[in-house]
Structure 1
């Protein structure tokens, strides 16, 4: 029996024998199907309004934004005016500007022709300088690769550090051209992680960011990585950072979900999801995130990434009715954290979704609580 098609596609027949080889660690259990009495449990995706596994897009968190596709195509064709209009239309919504910057920086890290044309036409344009700076950060990450240090060559590290140093100078230039914009400082968070900035130096950078945008979701998500144990911090520092951010956020703001991302970082690092999702603080974080997601505007640009993390956490804490609801709203996509941390993201997504359905069914299909 093919486990991938079993968990994700068609009716979703789940067999204990097929998953036993994967139960080698708690982390592996996130990729394993539930193990009901009798050995086999049949889950019909259509009964729960779940798209079948062969329709799941593993590259995106949500349906493609037509505007993003058009902007990417224009930038790749060298049309810097369309790129400039797209970025500047975000105005002073700094988190939306940062989100859109990521789209353009990703394109520029592949082909920066449009950025060079933009800078040639408008040498002191702050948006052009910003895209150039963040594209260098993105390029540095691509040059290093996503594998652990033990699987990264000296040549990759040398290129990574060289381009990061270049991007730091470019960020300073962008900041000079747009003093009120937090984006050039946020771009430096990745530089701080890659070059090993001290806590004191990072805190000075963070002060520059929050003085301009105290509730910036993208900045907080990036800074959480700096403070986590795998980079420059620890579990304690990471959780404290996330708690303070959530406590200071305006009521209902999606930033209140940041502690869930910290919980997942600890779970993944320590391979201890059973323990970490039983903590009272985790239960409170899940509840706060769920309430924020339920009340968030449907088209909010950060909603899909928070919804994916919330669905994962809801299943882990046994809130199956809410988990099923979130998986229904997620639809045919699993290209987001937490699924992207796993080599077999579709397997983990499919099994988590199936466990939500089984748990909800076994509880008698209770209704989703009202906010």
Structure 2
């Protein structure tokens, strides 16, 4: 039985049920206070996000210029979430039109900014004005990111963000496939690009459960043991769980076949001896922790919660409640008591 009912409407809606009466028991141990920290305690990243918030491009640019591949993509994504970045990147692009870095940041910010306009609500609850703003911002993102891709053909980052904009703009499966393939040609094991491909294949985006699960499993098995791509299996099962009515969802996720697949995926990826943590590894651990907790597998979930040391990621906990920290805390404490 889950500790929270998932949020109604999947991506939107309100927290429907709150906590469902699980006692913590005698074995509960006071743990590190959970927190949402996009830097995961990294002072260099904290400084970069501070410069982004202050609009200090002179200080931020060297940090981005020193990164490449997945690192640049991750940092650009983190900066793109900072409010107001769209203002100073416009000036930076105008001041140095030959520089691809501010253009990349502006494009990435316009993708994030577009989704802020749309909100996480189901499509039927998005207003006409929200849709208009959503598509206007995606149009800017598309133009800028395609220009970056043309100028810097070896860069992964524009192709990663172009996957998200293509899905939002409903550019179709051929464009989506082309952009995913462009990303993985530049970084074959790039987990974030694989996550975007998984979303594209979800039923809620016009795909199917069969295609989603097939992609997740083939990606995991096609990667060496210790690869983080095993997370895709857990994400696929959470997407399927999210699509089921109450009662059926828990029966599905806690069923023997699904539990076996989750265990295989975890011990082939994040819990494998060859797993090497890279920037943002906490997201994978949060995904598996939530999946195992909902599947009534507290012992395996504890391994993941312990490794996280209180670091919470918004996804996938936002599927349960508008307060990811609360959801993380309740599930972690419940698993610690079992």
The TM tier, using the shorter chain, reads 0.7 to 0.9
Q: Distance in 2 between matches of 1:171 and 1:149?
A: 25
Aligned to 2:11: none
Aligned: 1:42 with 2:34: no
Identify if the C-alpha distance between structure 1 residues 279 and 202 changes in structure 2 by more than 3 Å, giving closer, same or farther: farther
Q: 1:311 aligns with which of 289, 292, 301?
A: 289
Identify if the C-alpha distance between structure 1 residues 297 and 210 changes in structure 2 by more than 3 Å, giving closer, same or farther: closer
- Structure 2: stretches of 5+ with no match in the other structure: 9-14
Larger Rg: 1
TM-score (norm 2): 0.85
Aligned to 1:100: 75
Aligned: 1:324 with 2:305: no
TM-score (norm 1): 0.78
Contact in 2 for aligned 1:228/1:235 (Cα 8 Å): yes
Contact in 1 for aligned 2:213/2:236 (Cα 8 Å): yes
Aligned to 2:61: 84
Aligned to 2:335: 356
Aligned: 1:157 with 2:127: no
Q: 1:212 offset after TM fit, Å?
A: 1.8
Q: 1:256 aligns with which of 227, 230, 240?
A: 230
Aligned to 2:44: 67
Q: Deviations over 1:263-295 (max 9, x none)?
A: 111111214132134252552333332453234
Contact in 2 for aligned 1:22/1:29 (Cα 8 Å): yes
Aligned to 1:302: 280
RMSD of Structure 2 on Structure 1 (CA): 3.0
Aligned to 1:145: 119
- Aligned pair count? 326
SS at the partner of 1:181? coil
Contact in 2 for aligned 1:30/1:352 (Cα 8 Å): no
- Structure 1: stretches of 5+ with no match in the other structure: 1-18, 35-39, 360-371
Q: Distance in 2 between matches of 1:207 and 1:191?
A: 15
Q: How does 1:191-202 map to 2 (within 5 A)?
A: 191-202=165-176
